[in-house]
Amino acid sequence: MTLQGARERRVRTGGVELCVAEWGDPAQPTVVLVHGYPDSKEVWSEVAGRLAERFHVVLYDVRGHGRSTAPRPLRGGFTLEKLTDDFLAVVDAVSPNRPVHLVGHDWGSVQAWEFTTVKRTEGRIASFTSMSGPSLDHFGHWIKKRVSRPTPRRVGQLLGQGAKSWYVYLLHTPVLPELAWRGPLGKQWPKILRRLEKVPTGDYPTSSLPTDAAHGAWLYRDNVRPRLRKPRTDAYAHAPVQLITPLGDAFLSERLYDELELWAPRLVRRTLPAKHWVPRTRPDQLAAWITDFVTATEGGRPAPAVRGPHAERFGGQLVLVTGAGSGIGRATALAFAEAGARVVAVDRNAHGAARTAELCRSAGAPEAWGETVDVSDEQAMEQFAAKVAAEYGVVDVLVNNAGIGLSGSFFDTTAEDWRKVLDVNLWGVIHGCRLFGKQMAERGQGGHIVNTASAAAYLPSRALPAYSTSKAAVLMLSECLRAELAGQGIGVSVICPGFVNTAITSTARFTGVDPDEEERRRKKSARLYGLRNYPPEKVAAAVLRAVVRNQAVVPVTAEARGGRLLSRFAPGALRAIARMKPPL
């Protein structure tokens, strides 16, 4: 947590002395990281360490924070104008002849918006990456629009953000925040961060916290009310902007950025499952996105392309799909790849998994790996989950899709047949949820689990007792898990497809018949599925939609949707159909 190996210097400006730390080769593009409230530059240490391999990285303690001195008097000493003076003084010192790439978190981002939208910094900023800190001017216009032209939706958005801003009102009260920070709040802060935000606080620097926090209250008092009341009308960004929005931010609503393209026409949006303190909890991801953005801007290219309808939501995220060697799993892995996700394609068929990973890379995944594991093997799955965490990180989206088909009446289904189908279709999902779900929950930044069940989960039949039972169990497991994980920001969806044209028909087992008859039935079912011809790509699209919308149960295909309606409103009709002799 210390900035080991950093070179330090002090920069004097407007009556204060700023503590500035530099890492990396000054000949490389300069990235300036600005911290938020109540932090000091050390909040960036994990991100800065990674960026320093490629860039000249500069961090400074904002006036009144860390080892920078505070203005006297405090009142009026923290205006955005003065903070802009500080930024320019730092840039003059560290990169006098070349524009810098600016990155801000929380109040660091609020002030960096000011830097990026005022005239006097034009030509000094090459790009700006913003996280969890809006422009006060844009925020002011956002409020005005909702107050002057209220619709139920807009009023809801206002109330939503209003409720998240409770601390801003408190910080405007005199003396109270200072007392709180010097007293119990200051002492408890690392614990609060650890509990609520899951920030690893082992070595959180607490010595300067009460003073930093007390000084930082003036950031709010000096700026928030005047700017929200009278926002600037020319607050247009003069540099490309990358907006990173954590989906579980307790202090800022995602809706605040709805109209941001009006102010920042060269905008790239990214989201990630995370809470507010992303520099501490998601340094890998931030460093990767900042590197991409800076490299593209330096190369004179437009910001890295955001492709497809869900690219903003999934770009850069780690997605693991089981049963990805074929059919629905492969199509799902590819759809995430097209949205720019990093994909782990898992299958017991090594060749299929490797091929899917290859296709994912061609489809646009920044990284993709093919991995071989049998999802029904508990020990193998445990080792595999540990390997994924160590080598690729904690999974953001988990798709438990691997499954096998089994057809045959109850008395034709042997105990061994039952074990096989339950081992893969149910235990495979249980292992996936237990192992990867646990990592997600422990990380504490949210995520999503998708389980592939089937319309057979709610459609009784004489032909598929074991398969349908396994899928009904997956449906209920998903519903239970959804309830349990909701409070942790982890969504759970279960996908219930009808007949989808995949290889499942050629590998499914038919019990109670001789091998010739089994082969004949396989061919016949393959023909029927072929005639129905519902492509796995449509199921994949439904999977991505389910994650974006956090849908609970998602029937896919007309027969699955119709069956779901009947199961709820006319179950007797389904029972009558179930008694009929199966076609195969």
- The residues binding ligand NAD (CB under 6 A) are 322-323, 325-329, 347-349, 352, 374-376, 401-404, 424, 428, 452, 454, 497, 499-500, 502-504, 507, 536
* Cβ 328 to ligand NAD shortest distance, Å: 4
* Cβ 534 to ligand NAD shortest distance, Å: 8
* Cβ 456 to ligand NAD shortest distance, Å: 7
* Cβ 425 to ligand NAD shortest distance, Å: 6
Q: Which is nearer to ligand NAD, 121 or 468 (CB)?
A: 468
Q: Which is nearer to ligand NAD, 325 or 364 (CB)?
A: 325
* Cβ 403 to ligand NAD shortest distance, Å: 2
Q: Which is nearer to ligand NAD, 106 or 423 (CB)?
A: 423
Residues β-bridged to residue 241: 128, 267
Cβ neighbours around 473 below 10 Å, total: 18
Place of tokens 């076609």: 583
Quote the CA–CA distance of 292 and 311 in Å, as a whole number.
15
* CB-based contact 563:503 (threshold 8 Å): no
Q: Which is nearer to ligand NAD, 247 or 380 (CB)?
A: 380
Quote the CA–CA distance of 281 and 392 in Å, as a whole number.
15
Quote the CA–CA distance of 571 and 575 in Å, as a whole number.
6
Token pair listed for 1: 């947590």
Q: Which is nearer to ligand NAD, 263 or 510 (CB)?
A: 510
* Cβ 325 to ligand NAD shortest distance, Å: 3
Classify burial at 248, counting beta carbons within 10 Å of its beta carbon; exposed 0-12, middle 13-18, buried 19 or more. Answer: middle
* Cβ 356 to ligand NAD shortest distance, Å: 9
* Cβ 338 to ligand NAD shortest distance, Å: 18
CA angle (314 as vertex; 262, 239 as ends), nearest 5 = 35
Q: Are strands 7-13 and 16-23 parallel, antiparallel or unpaired?
A: antiparallel
Is 169 an annotated catalytic residue? Answer: no
In degrees to the nearest 10, what's the CA dihedral of 400, 330, 286, 191? 0
* CB-based contact 138:228 (threshold 8 Å): no
Residues β-bridged to residue 334: none
Q: Which is nearer to ligand NAD, 143 or 424 (CB)?
A: 424
Q: Which is nearer to ligand NAD, 129 or 401 (CB)?
A: 401
* Cβ 502 to ligand NAD shortest distance, Å: 3
The catalytically annotated residue of 220, 257, 467, 529 is: 467
- CA-nearest of 489, 438, 433 to 272 is 489
Q: Is 472 left (phi over 0), alpha (psi -120 to 50) or beta?
A: alpha
Quote the CA–CA distance of 503 and 520 in Å, as a whole number.
15
Q: Which is nearer to ligand NAD, 290 or 406 (CB)?
A: 406
Token pair listed for 304: 């890295």
Q: Which is nearer to ligand NAD, 209 or 560 (CB)?
A: 560
The amino acid present at 297, given as its one-letter code, is T
* CB-based contact 402:322 (threshold 8 Å): yes
Q: How far is CA 567 from CA 15, 25, 409, 454, 559, in A?
A: 73, 65, 21, 14, 12
Quote the CA–CA distance of 220 and 76 in Å, as a whole number.
11
Quote the CA–CA distance of 197 and 195 in Å, as a whole number.
6
Does the N-terminal peptide bond of residue 71 adopt cis geometry, omega within 30 degrees of 0? no
Q: Which is nearer to ligand NAD, 161 or 326 (CB)?
A: 326
Q: What Rg value do the Cα atoms of the chain yield, rounded?
A: 27
- CA-nearest of 139, 91, 98 to 115 is 91
SS3 call for 46: helix
Q: Which is nearer to ligand NAD, 211 or 326 (CB)?
A: 326
Nearest 5°: phi and psi at 260?
A: -65, -30
Distance, CA of 24 to chain centre: 29
Place of tokens 């057809």: 407
Number of helical H runs and strand E runs in the chain: 23, 17
The amino acid present at 170, given as its one-letter code, is L
* Length of the chain, in residues: 584
* Cβ 539 to ligand NAD shortest distance, Å: 8
* Cβ 318 to ligand NAD shortest distance, Å: 19
Q: What are the residue numbers of the active site?
A: 467
